[in-house]
């Protein structure tokens, strides 16, 4: 695709998306700064429709910021984002978002939390219909009997299942996930990863997923592709295509040589980035500077 705006990032208007492809998620020369510190620098990427992309990065790489920009929760300082040729200028039901924690409103029952999304996705339904559909979505994530409970009565894993159900209920073709399993114990984490993959594989057409994580294994297990973000400032330092067959099993995958070589490749990207930061004087020195 043609890059139309190659000069200073500030001159690029995020509202216009000419040159944007009519399909998929498109990010072009994206910049973001917070308090005059550059958080994201020159991010360009495309996600095909129905693709599952893992966005892998250490803390401070701006991966959450990038996801919030994709969701429309933040406005970029420069560059453009588009979905199906339409400029992203704010949140939209086209892009459902799951946060790391606290996606549900604590004062509503689980069912009503999901029913809110149902109402939004298909207005004009009766309250009972919405609740019934909410129960169906909850059943998809294995929470068919928990609809009457309040979020504080659920475990962390159940709350994340509920958050996924709510996002499914929005009917969004794009799923943006910000370390949704980051606060879970390993056993629960694997269970939810498999649940997510199952739902994604079964749906037609498949949703476009951008999944932010700092867990290398998770990124490899889930994605069709891993994008690796380097730190200070955040930018894409590597991209690896993952053509492990689906459906995947975590046990089988983690034992394979291919998995280990991908893992080693990612570690290589990370250590080169750390080395670069050290040379750029960005790394923490012995005197504690740079923290």
Partner 1 sequence: MGIKKSERAFISPAPKNSRLFSVLYSLRGLTLFALALALWGSASWLLPAKHQYLFPAPWTTALALWESLPELLRSTWSSFLILIPGYFLAVVLGAGWGVVVGSTKWLQALFIPFARVAAPVPPTVYVPYAIALLPNFRSSAIAIVLVAAFWPVFLNSLAGTVAVSERHRDNARVLGFGPFEYLRLVAFPAALPFIFSGMHVGLGMSFIMLTVSELFGASSGLGRFVQYYADFADYPRMVAGIIYTGLVTFLSMTALGSLERRVIFWPH
Please report how close the Cβ of residue 271 comes to partner 1 at its closest, in angstroms: 34
Of 9, 14, 57, 151, the one binding partner 1 (CB under 8 A) is: 151
Nearer to partner 1, 140 or 170 (CB): 170
Give 187-223 as a DSSP string.
HHHHHHHHHHHHHHHHSSSPPEEEEEES-HHHHHHH-
State how far the Cα of 264 lies from the Cα of 134, in Å rounded to an integer.
Answer: 42
Coil, helix or strand at residue 160: helix
Host H or E run for residue 163: helix 156-169
Q: Given its phi and psi angles, is residue 56 left (phi above 0), alpha (psi -120 to 50 degrees) or beta?
A: beta
Stretch that binds partner 1, among 43-51, 69-77, 215-223, 259-267 (CB under 8 A): 69-77
Please report how close the Cβ of residue 102 comes to partner 1 at its closest, in angstroms: 5
Per-residue mark of binding to partner 1, 19-48 (x: CB under 8 A):
------------------------------
Burial of 18 (0-12, 13-18, 19+ CB in 10 A): exposed
Please report how close the Cβ of residue 250 comes to partner 1 at its closest, in angstroms: 29
State how far the Cα of 110 lies from the Cα of 122, in Å rounded to an integer.
Answer: 19
State how far the Cα of 223 lies from the Cα of 213, in Å rounded to an integer.
Answer: 11
Residues 87-126 that bind partner 1 (CB under 8 A): 90-93, 95-97, 99, 101-108, 116-117, 120
Per-residue mark of binding to partner 1, 164-193 (x: CB under 8 A):
------x-----------------------
Residues 213-252 that bind partner 1 (CB under 8 A): none
Host H or E run for residue 20: none
Upper half-sphere CA count for residue 281 (Cβ side, 13 Å)? 0
Please state, as a whole number, how many other Cβ atoms lie within 10 Å of the Cβ of residue 95. Answer: 23
| Size of residue set near partner 1 by CB under 8 A | 26
Q: What angle do CA 283, 284, 286 make, to 5 degrees?
A: 130
Nearer to partner 1, 36 or 152 (CB): 152
Nearer to partner 1, 12 or 110 (CB): 110
Please report how close the Cβ of residue 152 comes to partner 1 at its closest, in angstroms: 5
Please report how close the Cβ of residue 22 comes to partner 1 at its closest, in angstroms: 23
Stretch that binds partner 1, among 54-62, 66-74, 126-134, 270-278 (CB under 8 A): 66-74
Instruction: State the residues that interact with partner 1 by CB under 8 A.
Output: 71-73, 90-93, 95-97, 99, 101-108, 116-117, 120, 150-152, 170
């Amino acid at each position: 695709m043609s890059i139309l705006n190659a000069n200073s990032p500030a001159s690029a208007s995020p509202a216009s998306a000419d040159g944007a492809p009519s399909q998929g998620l498109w990010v072009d020369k994206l910049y973001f700064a917070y308090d005059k510190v550059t958080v994201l620098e020159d991010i360009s990427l495309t996600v095909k429709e129905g693709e599952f992309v893992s966005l892998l990065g250490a803390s401070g790489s701006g991966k959450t910021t990038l996801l919030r920009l994709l969701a429309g929760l933040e406005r970029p300082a420069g560059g453009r984002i588009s979905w199906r040729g339409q400029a992203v200028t704010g949140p939209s039901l086209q892009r459902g978002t799951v946060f790391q924690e606290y996606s549900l409103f604590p004062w509503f029952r689980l069912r009503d939390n999901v029913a809110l999304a149902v109402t939004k996705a298909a207005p004009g339904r009766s309250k009972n219909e919405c609740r019934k559909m909410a129960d169906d979505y909850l059943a998809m994530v294995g929470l068919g009997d928990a609809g009457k409970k309040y979020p504080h009565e659920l475990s962390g894993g159940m709350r994340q299942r509920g958050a996924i159900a709510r996002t499914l209920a929005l009917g969004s073709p794009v799923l943006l996930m910000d370390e949704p399993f980051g606060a879970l114990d390993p056993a629960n984490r694997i269970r939810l990863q498999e649940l997510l993959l199952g739902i994604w594989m079964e749906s037609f057409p498949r949703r476009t997923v951008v999944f932010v994580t700092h867990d290398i294994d998770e990124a490899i297990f889930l994605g069709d592709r891993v994008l690796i973000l380097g730190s200070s400032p955040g930018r894409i330092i590597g991209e690896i295509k993952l053509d492990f067959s689906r459906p995947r099993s975590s046990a089988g995958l983690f034992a394979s040589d291919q998995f280990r070589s991908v893992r080693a490749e990612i570690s290589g990207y990370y250590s080169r980035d750390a080395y670069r930061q050290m040379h750029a004087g960005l790394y923490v020195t012995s005197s504690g500077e740079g923290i």
